Amino acid sequence: MLNNSHYIDKLRSSGLRPTKQRIKICEILFNTDKTFHFTINDLVKKISKATNDKISLATVYNTVHAFKKKGYLKEIPINSDQSYFDTNTSHHHHFYDENQKDLIDIDDADVEPVKINTRIPGKKIKSVEVLVKVEDAE
């Protein structure tokens, strides 16, 4: 309960009540200078390491979905058995290491603008995302 007033304001101004569960999850997700990728399961583990008060699985799901809806998290389409989430909500791209099964950010500035010479009538582009699959060089 130190500099949590920031999260409390953030939550309240989003129309989300600043409950102790949501504040704790904010601390875990956003109290770091580095962004990261996680599954719900990863997050559950981080929570149980960080606190003695249990947060129910349903609340973890609810909170992640609420944060995604508010734009504080992005969902990454990588794997169909489990959802991956990203605390980096800026427009960026990814390496996917197929050996380590690990996602690594590529800054948008490190990808030259992607030119697509075809359109779909009546549709507008919402985002352009590049996924670079990599593997161990032998």
Partner DNA sequence: TCAACAGTTTAGAACTATTATAATGTAGAC
Partner DNA sequence: GTCTACATTATAATAGTTCTAAACTGTTGA
Residues that bind a second copy (CB under 8 A): 75-84, 93, 95, 97-98, 104, 106-107, 110-112, 114-118, 120, 122-137
Q: How far is CA 63 from CA 9, 24, 29, 59, in A?
A: 16, 11, 11, 6
By CB under 7 A, residue 110 contacts DNA: no
Which position among 26, 27, 37, 63 is part of the footprint of DNA (CB under 7 A)?
63
CB of 45 to DNA, least distance (A): 12
Name the residue nearer to Mn ion (CB basis): 60 or 111. 111
CB of 83 to Zn ion, least distance (A): 14
Residues 6+ apart with CB under 8 A from 23: 4, 7, 8, 11
Q: How far apart are CA 67 and CA 34, in angstroms?
A: 18
CB of 92 to a second copy, least distance (A): 11
Q: How far apart are CA 93 and CA 104, in angstroms?
A: 8
Instruction: Specify the residue for token string 């956003």.
Output: 30
Name the residue nearer to Zn ion (CB basis): 7 or 84. 84
